[in-house]
A and B are shown apart, each in its own frame.
Chain A
Amino acid sequence: MEQHDDLYYIEKVKSGLTNHFSYIVENYKDVVFSIALKVLKNRDEAEEMAQEVFIKVYHSLDKFRGSSKFSTWLYSVTYNHCISQVRKKKYDIRSLENVQIADEDDDFNFDGFSEEERREILESALKKLPEDDYTLVILYYYEDQTIEELARVAKLSVSNTKVKLFRARKKLHIILNEMLKEEIDSLL
């Protein structure tokens, strides 16, 4: 099947071919759902919220002018929708300050771990990150968003985004190191 970029499908939807929106949903549902699940910690509620995000995006498509990447715009809607829902429902957002960031070396090793084990450890470590850090890490490392794009998503300055991402990465390293130590201890 011929592959098209997001703009192709957006133009189709804008011209009245609503069913083309399903391509957009298929393409981004995992990222949107993962962020929603991270925030809500409940699969049913996260699925409901992810659906709401896509419906909101569909109704706002006319506002998308193409000045930024569609994915950045979509993630911005997702991020802000999730954050506003969290505030509305007064979910417990773990503060950035809850995790102590030590000034230690980033290096750690996966010696003796299989690829599958390594992936599972990293997935578990990502789940332990606070909601906003998780979103930034996924969008930057998984979705290849730039710092400037992340700044737009989180409505932060570029320098603040850099700091936030740096701190998120540090936290991920700390969590990973702790998990690796635990894994090694359990093997000994």
Chain B
Amino acid sequence: MRRTVTGLRAWLLQRISAIYMLLFIIFFLTHFLVESPDSYQAWHGWMMSSGVSIATLIFFAALMLHVWVGVRDVLMDYIHPLALRIFALTLLGIGLVAITAWVMRILLMEHS
């Protein structure tokens, strides 16, 4: 089994993350339609309950993996010089890590 996330693995990862994100979005929207929180406090309490915040964290993790595989595919198609491609992939990686750190900061710091 190869260790890199390419070929079948990357393809599967993108499908699985897409399914999770779809289910999460449905769950999220259904909650707001069925029992819409009537105040910021109620919304905040719901968001920060451990189940919802873990599900939200997984959602963003899935989103980052999905974006990584998808944008990397596009970069592989259009950017052929190796140095330029590594530069673009590094920028993308830094961007995604920064967003993930920011999301974790919001979700985890608010929690404590």
Q: Specify whether A and B are partners.
A: no
B residues near A (Cβ < 8 Å) are none
